[in-house]
């Protein structure tokens, strides 16, 4: 049954959890892909009663496509979104739990330009997709608009893996909230006009930002925040007009740049603090060239450290 907050589950819900995510580990070990399945969604001509197995018989909503995923055997699933605007209750506030499948949600390929598959949060969504103990989600060539001051757009928790390529997020609380042992890698996207943070890695999660443009209309929030033992890398890209470019807190650890992959150079501009490490955190410059423009100072507080030519 589809509701405003859509719950989509790949497994029986009565199974208990434990601190080591043994349920997720067991089901991943049991995972055997049988075939890839592609589902098509079109906001203009689709119908959620269709099979969705061809562009000629598309589904109407993203919720409808995710609901179909659990009807198939285990495997890899691709949800192809046609160009257009996806709005309404069945295209936001989607919740998935224990889905032991690789799922990709793709907009039309546009060669790295502005995505034409647009998901409208209508100033009311708590999130687009909340993923709890899921195997893997991929997001490609999507644009999210009109989030609210409380919207966390892409929100993986408890061991979920997320890859996002050329995803544009405009107006939200937080673009990516990576939490509780999850993994999130973002590449060649944009995060703009957020009230709190552009991207977060927290509670022992790993967050990687490669060539991402992060900017606010007003000087506020952190472009990238690692907190509560979050780890990761910021490689290339621009962070503009935030309170802090990159912030680490509560024992977090991160690298800035990585020349091995040609992603070393980072521009941080118009931020109160370029880099800010606090409470036993450690920020390492992995051979990046960091260009600062119209920033305040870098800052260390409470036994935090900068390494490799990062100066306070």
The per-residue pLDDT string of the chain (312 residues; one tens digit each, 9 = 90 and over) reads: 333 455 555 443 333 444 444 444 444 444 444 568 999 999 999 999 999 999 999 999 999 999 988 666 567 899 999 999 999 999 999 999 988 889 999 999 988 899 999 999 999 999 999 999 999 999 999 999 999 999 999 999 999 999 999 999 999 999 999 999 999 999 999 999 999 999 999 999 999 999 999 999 765 789 999 999 999 999 888 999 998 889 999 889 988 876 555 556 788 888 888 888 888 888 777 555 565 555 556 765 545 455 544 554
Q: With respect to residue 301, please indicate whether it lies within any of the assigned structural domains.
A: yes
* Cα(176)–Cα(206) distance, integer angstroms: 12
Phi-psi region of 180 (alpha: psi -120 to 50; beta: other; left: phi over 0): left
For residue 29, what pLDDT is reported? 44
The alpha carbon of residue 2 and the mean position of all alpha carbons in its chain are separated, in whole angstroms, by 24
Same domain, 138 and 255: no
* Cα(128)–Cα(200) distance, integer angstroms: 16
- Cα torsion at 141, 199, 177, 4 (round to 10°)? -50
State which H helix or E strand residue 171 sits in: strand 161-179
Same domain, 73 and 210: no
In the listed set 145, 175, 203, which residue is the last one of a domain according to the structure? Answer: 145
Q: Are 236 and 259 in contact (CB under 8 A)?
A: no
Same domain, 98 and 31: yes
Q: Looking at the 3D structure of the chain, how many domains does it have?
A: 2
Same domain, 140 and 221: no
Query: Residue 100 sits in which domain range?
Result: 1-12+23-145
For residue 93, what pLDDT is reported? 97
Same domain, 30 and 129: yes
Same domain, 137 and 207: no
pTM: 0.85
Q: With respect to residue 311, please indicate whether it lies within any of the assigned structural domains.
A: yes
* Residue 85, token pair as written in the block: 């605007």
Same domain, 97 and 222: no
In the listed set 130, 145, 160, which residue is the last one of a domain according to the structure? Answer: 145
């Amino acid at each position: 049954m589809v509701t405003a907050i859509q719950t989509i589950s790949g497994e029986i819900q009565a199974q208990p959890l434990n601190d080591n995510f043994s349920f997720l580990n067991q089901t991943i070990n049991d995972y055997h892909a049988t075939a890839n399945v592609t589902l098509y969604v079109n906001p203009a001509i689709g119908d959620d009663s269709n099979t969705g197995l061809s562009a000629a018989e598309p589904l109407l909503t993203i919720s409808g496509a995710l609901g179909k995923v659990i009807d198939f055997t285990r495997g890899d699933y691709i949800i192809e979104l046609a160009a257009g605007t996806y709005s309404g209750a069945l295209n936001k506030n989607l919740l998935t739990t224990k889905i032991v499948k690789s799922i990709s949600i793709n907009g039309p390929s546009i060669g790295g330009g502005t995505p034409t598959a647009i998901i409208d949060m209508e100033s009311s969504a708590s999130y687009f997709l909340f993923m709890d103990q899921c195997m893997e989600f991929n997001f490609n060539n999507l644009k999210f608009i009109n989030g609210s001051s409380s919207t966390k757009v892409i929100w993986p928790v408890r061991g979920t893996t997320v890859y996002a390529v050329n995803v544009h997020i405009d107006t939200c609380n937080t673009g990516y909230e990576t939490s509780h042992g999850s993994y999130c890698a973002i590449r060649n996207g944009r995060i703009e006009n957020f009230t709190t943070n552009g991207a977060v890695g927290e509670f022992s999660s790993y967050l990687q930002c490669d060539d991402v443009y992060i900017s606010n209309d007003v000087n506020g929030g952190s472009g990238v925040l690692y907190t509560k033992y979050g780890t990761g890398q910021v490689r290339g890209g621009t962070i503009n007009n935030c309170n802090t470019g990159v912030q680490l807190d509560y024992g977090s650890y991160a690298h800035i740049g990585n020349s091995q992959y040609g992603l070393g150079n980072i521009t941080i501009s118009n931020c109160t603090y370029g880099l800010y490490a606090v409470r036993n955190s450690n920020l390492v410059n992995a051979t990046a060239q960091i260009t600062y423009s119209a920033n305040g100072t870098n800052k260390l507080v409470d036994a935090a450290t900068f390494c490799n030519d990062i100066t306070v």
